[in-house]
Amino acid sequence: MTNMKKMTMIPLLASFILGSTLWSGGFTANAAAAATTSTTVATSAATTSDKQTNHLPNIKILATGGTIAGSSSVNTDTTGYKAGALGVETLINAVPEMKSIANVSGEQVVNVGSPDVNNEILLKLAKRTNELLARDDVDGIVITHGTDTLEETAYFLNLVVKSDKPVVVVGSMRPATAISADGPFNLYNAVKVAGASASKGQGVLVLLNDRIGAARYITKTNTTAVDTFKSVEQGYLGAVVGDQVYYYNKSTHKHTTSSVFDISNLTQLPQVDILYEYQNNGRYLYDAAVAAGAKGIVVAGSGNGSLSKTSTEGAEAAGKKGVIIARSTRVGSGVVSPSTKDAATNFVSTDSLNPQKARILLMLALTQTHDVNQIQSFFNEY
């Protein structure tokens, strides 16, 4: 009983069988030390002189924290854990099977829960991603990320990465210490996808629960379920089945090498806020956003991007001051159709982008232009 108590009290990265390996402990010492923001990890695969690994792709894992690096002292805890408690070295060492599919090395960019990912972190992560992809010794990148805002980071990278090499954003819905944690297998599959030649030119990808989603289309749909990431209308791009990567769709929107957005010389992004449409709302939120320095406002409108009379007054007043108003929807799916009145009031429609992704695109659009017609074309194309 003594040994059993130790196993339940010591944080375990996985209390389940990884392939043929029972991972039953081993990283109790370094949870704090591993949570640094400047760690570089040596390859987990054999050396390049080993003939068995020479043919394998070189995959860099950039870690940002989140649930996939979460830890709790209770292995049934799937909601009260500490996100970003573990470092990238711990994540890599927990999945030794990766060394059979890639030469893997890791780097800790930040270690936070994804609600704390801000514009500064987005720029830092994107610039580092582009730096690594420009190297001949990097064939693909996997980014570990918390799921709450994962789709926003993935879409941002989809617009600013300047390479057709695979970039796969991965997370988990259960912390590393939970029974049946989904992180280790998600990470393995993400490395598999990043190393697949078929993944080149697909744009930034999101991998969870064996499914490959396009950053443009995928979104989180459930608070806690492991199958939360879905692409309801457009569908998934592919899947990982039986250790094989399959693709059956492509994104039709511009991304990565076809994108005009360049963040290489940017140190900040324009302020864009999101306002939510609801019954009996007031225009004061629009006035407050403008007063606080917003250059753009995304409205999570009701239905087909509809605004109340009160909201319309606030939005049009903001538009007259040069603020771009992007009409999205709170519904969760569907296209917000354009209106003939949009351009005259400094409004744009957001196509099928949800409010959080519309904010990402509007920020980048405002680094290029304040012309409402050009910004509308960005929403049509990206």
Q: Would you call 48 a catalytic residue per the annotation?
A: no
Indicate which residue of 64, 67, 147, 153 is catalytic: 67
Residue 71 C-beta-side C-alpha neighbours within 13 Å = 25
Q: What is the residue type of 301?
A: G
Contact 74, 153 (CB under 8 A): no
Measured CA distances, 73 to 67, 175, 177 (Å): 14, 11, 8
DSSP class of 306: B
What is the C-alpha R_g of the chain? Answer: 22
Return d(Cα 219, Cα 215) in angstroms, integer.
8
Contact 61, 88 (CB under 8 A): yes
Kindly tell me the sign of the dihedral angle through the C-alpha atoms of 14, 71, 102, 200.
positive
- Which element (helix H / strand E) includes 6? helix 2-9
Contact 42, 97 (CB under 8 A): no
Going by C-alpha positions, the residue among 346, 38, 97 that lies closest to residue 243 is 97
End-to-end CA distance of the chain: 58
Pairing of strands 17-18, 21-22: antiparallel
CA–CA–CA angle 291, 324, 280 (5° rounding) = 65
Residues identified as active-site? 67
